[in-house]
Structure 1
Amino acid sequence: MASPTASHRMIRRRPYAVLAGVIVLGGALLGPRALSPEASAAPATAAPRAWSDKADGFASLDGGTTGGAGGQTVTVTTFSDLKKYATATAAYVIRVGGTITYPEKGHEVRVASNKTIIGAGTKGEIVGGGFFLKAGVSNVIIRNLTIRDTRMTDDDPDDDGYDYDAIQMDTADHIWIDHNRLERMNDGLIDSRKDTTNLTVSWNIINENHKTFGIGWTDNVTARMTIHHNWFSGTEARNPSIDNVANAHLYNNYLQNTGSGNWSRGKSNTVIENSYFKGVKDPYYKDSGASLVVRGSVVVDSEGKQQTGGSGFDPGAFYDYTLDDAEEVPGILADGAGPQADIGN
């Protein structure tokens, strides 16, 4: 398949060749001395990245994802106020101004349409619970939060007994999950279930979990999603597991010391670009009926499957995007992933 044209995407280029999904730079294969996040940070002369308040990727299409824009802005510091505004029928921008510990462990607040839930700088934390977006919910932004710690220890080694997710979506539409830190939940960190579509997941730290990011639970092949600039670290399964997705575009993600890689399942059509895999079991692989195209990615200190096949699709035919060089991704995410002090203020 031909790569997207320059009119569709902007690419920072360095000379490289690609051999079976592994980038060779300057004639030397990246090996055990691959750059650490600190060592691979962008040069000091580089301009700081400005964080846009507009969703990109598939969440930007068909009117975009604006969340609570146009509604009242409120700041919450208690569970009762968070629940009050998140479940309201009116549009709200809900700033989380401190740590909110859920009174019932594992509870998931039922978020209604047209909401932005955003951490005020790095102060916004959700502890002991998460969020649920039911069928029909649309136009929601969950941004700049830390959501953590529903893990149970009572004879539940595989996180099967308690369905405690950070963010679960069941046939939701136009969702942007951006700049969060998600960790140590008893089930999924992100579950994009059934026919959830027009989803963008960007610039998140996805950390210390078993069932990490599951996508599917449907026989339909209609969903579209963009997953970019996320740092997966110390996670086991579903990084992500992509089942029956019509268009899945993954780029500039960093998988570090994970028990699995990117899995294109069912009849999914998946494109991976300029991602960095270090210490990953099965960096990328596919089911027999799925399509998986991988280009420009780096694989270091990893073992197992690196499978591709199928025609893929052209993400640039849907939206504009900028690719960072794969070898710079660990440093870029060390600087920019997760909650940011200049977002939500």
Structure 2
Amino acid sequence: MFVPAKSWPEPIRRSVAVAVAAMAFLAVAPAQADPGVRVWADTADGFAGTSGGTTGGAGGATVTVGNYADLVKYATASAPHVIRVNGTITVAPYGTEIRVASNKTIVGVGTSGQIVNGGFFLGSGVHNVIIRNLTIRDTRMTSDDPDDKEFDYDGIQLDNAHHVWIDHNTITRMNDGLIDSRKDTSYLTVSWNVLAQNNKSFGIGWTTNVTARMTIHHNWIRDTKQRNPSTDNVAYAHLYNNYLQNVTSYGNYARGATKMVLENSYFENVKDPYYKDSAAQLRQSGSTVVKSSGKQQSGGSAFTPSSFYSYTLDPTAQVPALLRTKSGPQANIGL
């Protein structure tokens, strides 16, 4: 039997009113984020976010892959795709670099996506590519090629590509470079990655032109030897909030005619933390160097990154702890 609300006892009417008001508030109140959880954007920042931006496969079909054949099928397709990697994919033949076409996002599902025994290659003219939230590992040939000279098995190689975002990956134990940005690759942002346990970490150049623009921020580079990065003939190289740890050959190196701005980075147990060639410009501010030796060399005005894009510096003292937890694949990306 229906009883009109006006006939309800006063205590019940008050209780119902409070409940209705609470439900109405919850329906419109914004969700409160956990202060320990960062919300990660799906579009690139830094130079990859300029001059048209980098959105990857946005607008194309979203597919989930768990085997090598499907990954190759969609990564090389002419149409845009968002490719979610769920699980461990072993590359064959060993050391193969999958040739990625334009307008692709390749993203690990949470922390599950792994590419083993191979990597990725972005060739001339390839553009608008996001490689994100993956572990790329293990092409090392220690017994056959201890100096990484015979086998070119990179984690990610880019030759004259543009508008590329490499974000939140762990790349480790590859036989040549973890990342090689070559031959005028430009509008590149490399952010929030772990680059670890390798001879050659991150090489940039292989060109006499001085046109490339790139942003390198919030990367944890550890237990490496050379190219951390070695930045040759880059028109605008902006490095900030990176953490270099246990580097045995050299750290941030501005080569050729590079203009480099280095801000709020943390160098721990690094030989030659940062320095430049005579023709290069390196403007440094806010960085911390501990338990390190060798060159800390700057000079020249370089450029002003904020004239190209906006960014926020994290305090240098917070960088090691921040990158130990927030670099590499994250559980809340790719879901």
Indicate whether the TM-score tops 0.5. Answer: yes
1:116 aligns with 2:116: no
For residue 82 of structure 1, give the secondary structure of its aligned residue in structure 2.
helix
Distance between the aligned counterparts of 2:201 and 2:149, measured in 1? 13
1:290 aligns with 2:280: yes
Instruction: Describe the superposition over 1:22-57 as per-residue Cα deviations: whole angstroms up to 9, x where unpaired.
Output: xxxxxxxxxxxxxxxxxxxxxxx9553221112100
1:300-319 equivalence runs, <5 A: 300-319=290-309
Shift of 1:153: 2.3
AA aligned to 1:237 is Q
Residue in structure 2 matched with residue 156 of structure 1 by the alignment: 145
Distance between the aligned counterparts of 2:300 and 2:206, measured in 1? 22
Instruction: Describe the superposition over 1:70-89 as per-residue Cα deviations: whole angstroms up to 9, x where unpaired.
Output: 00000001100000000000
Residue in structure 2 matched with residue 173 of structure 1 by the alignment: 162
AA aligned to 1:246 is A
Structure 2's unaligned 5+ residue stretches are 1-33
AA aligned to 2:279 is G
AA aligned to 1:324 is D
Task: Compare the two structures and name the one with the higher helix fraction.
Answer: 2
Distance between the aligned counterparts of 1:257 and 1:103, measured in 2? 32
Distance between the aligned counterparts of 1:299 and 1:277, measured in 2? 5
Residue in structure 1 matched with residue 87 of structure 2 by the alignment: 98
AA aligned to 1:192 is S
Which of 46, 49, 60 does residue 57 from structure 1 map onto? 46
Distance between the aligned counterparts of 2:142 and 2:255, measured in 1? 30
Shift of 1:335: 1.5
The alignment's TM-score, normalised by the length of structure 2, stands at: 0.89
Count of aligned pairs between the two proteins: 301
Which of 130, 139, 144 does residue 128 from structure 2 map onto? 139
For residue 334 of structure 2, give the secondary structure of its aligned residue in structure 1.
coil
Shift of 1:334: 1.1
Shift of 1:155: 3.4
Residue in structure 2 matched with residue 84 of structure 1 by the alignment: 73
Which of 173, 176, 186 does residue 187 from structure 1 map onto? 176
Distance between the aligned counterparts of 2:115 and 2:36, measured in 1? 32
Residue in structure 1 matched with residue 11 of structure 2 by the alignment: none
Residue in structure 2 matched with residue 278 of structure 1 by the alignment: 268
Distance between the aligned counterparts of 1:197 and 1:296, measured in 2? 26
1:196-207 equivalence runs, <5 A: 196-207=185-196
Instruction: Describe the superposition over 1:247-304 as per-residue Cα deviations: whole angstroms up to 9, x where unpaired.
Output: 0000000000012200000000000000000000000010000000110000000000
Structure 1's unaligned 5+ residue stretches are 1-44
1:248 aligns with 2:237: yes
Distance between the aligned counterparts of 2:318 and 2:213, measured in 1? 27
Residue in structure 1 matched with residue 219 of structure 2 by the alignment: 230
For residue 319 of structure 2, give the secondary structure of its aligned residue in structure 1.
helix
Query: Alignment RMSD, CA only?
Result: 0.9
AA aligned to 2:328 is G
Shift of 1:62: 1.2
Residue in structure 1 matched with residue 197 of structure 2 by the alignment: 208
Residue in structure 1 matched with residue 63 of structure 2 by the alignment: 74
Instruction: Describe the superposition over 1:117-175 as per-residue Cα deviations: whole angstroms up to 9, x where unpaired.
Output: 00000000000000000000000000000000000023311111100000000000000
The alignment's TM-score, normalised by the length of structure 1, stands at: 0.86
Residue in structure 2 matched with residue 322 of structure 1 by the alignment: 312
Distance between the aligned counterparts of 1:137 and 1:77, measured in 2? 24
% identical aligned pairs: 67
